[in-house]
Chain A
Amino acid sequence: MAQSNSDSHKILPIVNRYSLAVISVALAVMPALVLQHFKFRDVELPLLLFAIALTAWHAGVGPSVLAIVLSSICFDYFFAPPLYAFSLTPSDIPAILVLISFAVLVARFSAVRRRIERDLLQTQDKLQAEVVERTQQASLLNLTHDSIFVRDMSHVITYWNRGAEELYGWAPYEAVAKRSHDLLQTVFPMPIEDINAELLQTGRWEGEVRRTKADGTAVVVASRWSLRRDEANRAVAIMETNNDITDRKRREEEIRGLNQELEKRSADLQASNKELEAFAYSVSHDLRAPLRHMAGYAELLQKNASSALEDKGLRYLRMILDSAKRMGNLIDDLLAFSRIGRTEAQKTSVNLEQLVKEALNEVQPETNGRSIVWRIEPLPVCYGDRSMLRLVLVNLLSNAVKFTRPQPKPEIEIGCVDGNKDEVVVFVRDNGAGFDMKYVDKLFGVFQRLHHVDSFEGTGIGLATVQRIIHRHGGKVRAEGAIDQGATFYFSVPKI
């Protein structure tokens, strides 16, 4: 159905075109015949030529051939003597030949002209279509929030979208036809020659440029350039897409400034910390020598001159020696404490059970043959610095041994409780002197003591050392206790 329809559509114009040939020839012949009747001769030739030209113009080659043939026949029949007969006398032939030649020429020129006109029309249509498309594209570019403009290779702006107007403050009519770098006072991050070289080589460039808006304020934009080439691969235009990053840049600048300050402060802090550690070390080191001399000479005095001294004098000497010894211990503990801050933790997997055994051996001499009941539960493997954790256990066990001294049936328990999935919580519990929970916060401070030196000797550094080591492992320490009811110390270290 559709097929026959389209066929009839095709056939109709063809019929029309050939009808045009017949009608136009007929319309030329009729007035010529009328005029011939009134003895007006020789009008038929121009009229027939006009009919042929009309057909050629409007109906194309086929109908114009038909018109030529019809014209020739009509000329011979109606206008060439003998009239109203198809006989040709030799005198008619030139006239017929002239008619045919003219007719062919007219038809030819008409056809050529018509084709040219049709081509022209087609080109015009195409151009119009392109204009519509480009206008649509341009209005799309106007929709985007990005600022977009196009400039030719001598940086003259040819297109300026609404985003560009919003960003820079110039309307399209103010910006177009200006040189972009002059208008915007662009400051490039690198020599413009390098940028152009990269653009020509890769077809694009990206960077941050500083520009000045219409109102004179400075703006930092992230600029992306794309090169457009024509069919002959000549660079013809550059499209720039710009985003305002002024605020972001300012914030970045602020953050950088803050970071620098922070780094400086941290460096200062580290330096003064180092200085302090060095000072503590040097003081402890240098204090030790005169102390040793005092103790040494007091000892020699006790040994060589004891017969010359009374009991009182001997007691004084003992006090000197005692104090020297205590000060020695204090310095040693301080040195150990400061060493934890100065040395790098060497973390490995640590067998806590093995470590407890070693710590027990170390505190054995302090038990002085007392019958202490040790309860040691199985302990897991943890992750940490072996020698530091050993010091933790030695300090806690030594404390437990020390503070159970008044207890007739001393018991010390070592075990672990459920922590979270990442850490091991170990405790050391004793049934010794205990402490008042009121002072629990003081327990882990340097030089903090909850008992008199006379009842329990010590430097007040042991638990501070424990806390420092555990903190360096990312763990926590805490203590529970009550006076005369013992104490429990907990510490947590990372699981393996």
Chain B
Amino acid sequence: MQKLGRILMVEDDSKDVELTLTALEEYNLANEVVVTRDGEEALDYLNCRGKFSARSRENPAVILLDLKLPKVDGLEVLKQVKAAENLRYIPVVVLTSSHEERDLVTSYKLGVNAYVVKPVDFHQFVNAIKELGAFWAVINVPPPESVNK
């Protein structure tokens, strides 16, 4: 197996964080997950600001982004990521609670790489997370520009 890329998870619900991490753990994908709890924190991380100013300069291999977030919402994070010269090539996967046409359309307009509705069934959820993690963090070869600076 290839070297595991770092996964940036943006999720405000601690239960969702725990369940997602559990799912990733089952497939040994949890080690490199960075969790941010709102849109502002996620942008700080991506731009190496505030408490993340000392982080390693490498961009995450994938961003798992919830849409309903405190402070700065998911669509705004997506917009800023896709507008920033040094971040726009990071694959962004929207992970949301339900299928809402408007969010789906807006996300794709903003250049999202995948849009996933979290399944209620835990098996399906685990499978979805596993496949996402495996595809984006392991199988997919990121473009060279996605490495920060």
> Which residues of the partner chain B approach A293 to less than 8 Å between Cβ atoms?
13, 15-16, 19
**Are B122 and A295 in contact, CB atoms less than 8 angstroms apart?**
yes
A53 interfacial contact with B, CB 8 Å: no
Q: Which of B15, B118, B120 contacts A325 (CB 8 A)?
A: B120
**Residue in A closest to B14 when the chains form the complex, CB atoms:** A293
Interface window among B73-81, B82-90, B95-103, B132-140:
B95-103
0/1 per residue, A290-312, Cβ < 8 Å to B?
A: 01110111111000000000000
Q: Roughly how many angstroms separate A342 CA and B101 CA in the complex, as a whole number?
A: 10
B125 interfacial contact with A, CB 8 Å: yes
Q: Roughly how many angstroms separate A52 CA and B98 CA in the complex, as a whole number?
A: 129
- State how many residues of chain A have any CB contact under 8 Å with chain B: 26
**Residue in A closest to B98 when the chains form the complex, CB atoms:** A285
- Of residues 318 to 355 in A, which have CB atoms within 8 Å of B's CB atoms? 321, 324-325, 327-328, 331-332, 335, 339, 342-343
Q: Which of B16, B97, B101, B119 contacts A343 (CB 8 A)?
A: B101
**Are A300 and B22 in contact, CB atoms less than 8 angstroms apart?**
yes
Q: Roughly how many angstroms separate A335 CA and B99 CA in the complex, as a whole number?
A: 8
**Residue in A closest to B123 when the chains form the complex, CB atoms:** A299
**Are A289 and B16 in contact, CB atoms less than 8 angstroms apart?**
yes
Which secondary structure characterizes the binding site on chain A? helix
Q: Roughly how many angstroms separate A286 CA and B19 CA in the complex, as a whole number?
A: 17
> Which residues of the partner chain A approach B120 to less than 8 Å between Cβ atoms?
288, 291-292, 295, 324-325, 327-328, 331
**Are B100 and A285 in contact, CB atoms less than 8 angstroms apart?**
yes
**Are A289 and B13 in contact, CB atoms less than 8 angstroms apart?**
yes
> Which residues of the partner chain B approach A325 to less than 8 Å between Cβ atoms?
120-121
A398 interfacial contact with B, CB 8 Å: no
> Which residues of the partner chain A approach B100 to less than 8 Å between Cβ atoms?
281, 285
Chain A nearest CB from B140 CB (Å) reads 26
Q: Roughly how many angstroms separate A334 CA and B98 CA in the complex, as a whole number?
A: 12
A284 interfacial contact with B, CB 8 Å: yes
**Are A292 and B101 in contact, CB atoms less than 8 angstroms apart?**
no
Chain B nearest CB from A180 CB (Å) reads 64
- Of residues 105 to 137 in B, which have CB atoms within 8 Å of A's CB atoms? 118-123, 125
With A289-B13, A293-B16 already in contact, the answer to whether A328 and B97 are too (CB < 8 A) is no
With A295-B120, A295-B121 already in contact, the answer to whether A339 and B15 are too (CB < 8 A) is no
> Which residues of the partner chain B approach A286 to less than 8 Å between Cβ atoms?
97
Q: Roughly how many angstroms separate A284 CA and B22 CA in the complex, as a whole number?
A: 25
**Are B121 and A335 in contact, CB atoms less than 8 angstroms apart?**
no
**Are B19 and A284 in contact, CB atoms less than 8 angstroms apart?**
no
Q: Roughly how many angstroms separate A321 CA and B120 CA in the complex, as a whole number?
A: 10
**Are A289 and B97 in contact, CB atoms less than 8 angstroms apart?**
yes
- Of residues 17 to 50 in A, which have CB atoms within 8 Å of B's CB atoms? none
> Which residues of the partner chain A approach B13 to less than 8 Å between Cβ atoms?
289, 293
- Of residues 402 to 430 in A, which have CB atoms within 8 Å of B's CB atoms? none
With A289-B13, A289-B16, A328-B120 already in contact, the answer to whether A296 and B99 are too (CB < 8 A) is no
- Of residues 2 to 31 in B, which have CB atoms within 8 Å of A's CB atoms? 13, 15-16, 19, 22
Q: Roughly how many angstroms separate A293 CA and B13 CA in the complex, as a whole number?
A: 10
Q: Roughly how many angstroms separate A281 CA and B98 CA in the complex, as a whole number?
A: 9
Chain A nearest CB from B9 CB (Å) reads 16
Q: Which of B15, B22, B98 contacts A335 (CB 8 A)?
A: B98
> Which residues of the partner chain A approach B122 to less than 8 Å between Cβ atoms?
292, 295-296, 298-300, 321
> Which residues of the partner chain B approach A321 to less than 8 Å between Cβ atoms?
122
Chain A nearest CB from B78 CB (Å) reads 18
Contacts A/B (CB < 8 Å), 6 sampled: A284-B98, A289-B16, A292-B97, A295-B122, A296-B22, A297-B19
Residues of A within 8 A of B (CB): 281, 284-286, 288-289, 291-293, 295-300, 321, 324-325, 327-328, 331-332, 335, 339, 342-343
Given contacts A292-B125, A299-B123, A335-B99, 17 further A-B contacts (CB under 8 A): A284-B98, A285-B98, A288-B97, A288-B98, A292-B16, A292-B118, A293-B15, A293-B16, A295-B122, A298-B122, A299-B122, A300-B22, A300-B122, A321-B122, A328-B120, A328-B121, A331-B98
Residues of B within 8 A of A (CB): 13, 15-16, 19, 22, 97-101, 118-123, 125
Chain A to chain B: the 7 pairs with minimum beta-carbon distance, closest first: A328-B120, A299-B122, A296-B19, A285-B98, A293-B15, A296-B122, A288-B97
